[in-house]
Amino acid sequence: MQKLPVPPSATAPADAFTGSVLVETLRGPLEGSRLAMAHVHFAPGARTHWHTHPRGQTLHGTAGVGLVVTRAGEVLTLEPGRTVWIPPQEEHWHGAVAGTRMAHIAAQEADDEDETVTWLDPVTDEDFARANEIAQRR
């Protein structure tokens, strides 16, 4: 058993996120476990770039309202207490809706090379606006 340190907040890298995003890395993969977790805080309109996870990803909303969007165009909202599962290798992005902040806990497993994510291209403003429009109609 091990008590892990309280993580500091760090600004998310601009080559993987758009807008103001703070990340608290709760834990990376530890010996005998592939699980990595982070508490991610998005300013209104902030979002990840498109990306995939080799073993999938679980997002659990903790504050505000967010979007989870697949390359195929599926749009889900993420509210506090709600959990979303993204299957392995599914191209997706997530972030705060245009008018409010959002936070979630992200959990994903590393592959055999200790990779948990593959970053792709930024989400365009047009794709972001389209996802917001779809979410507002629901």
Query: What are the structural domains of the chain?
Result: 13-136 (2.60.120.10)
Q: What is the pLDDT of residue 32?
A: 86
Q: Could you give the dihedral angle defined by the CA atoms of residues 71, 124, 80 and 63, in that order, rounded to the nearest 10 degrees?
A: 160
Distance (Å, whole) CA 88 – CA 107: 12
Q: What is the pLDDT of residue 28?
A: 87
For residue range 106-124, list pLDDT tens digits in order: 999 999 998 999 999 999 9
Task: Tell me which residue of 42, 37, 12, 40 sits closest to 128, measured CA to CA.
Answer: 42
Residue 64 near residue 21 (C-beta atoms within 8 A): no
Task: Write the CB contacts of 39 (distance below 8 Å, at least 6 apart in sequence).
Answer: 7, 23, 24, 26, 62, 103, 104, 105, 106
Residue ranges of the chain with per-residue pLDDT less than 70: none
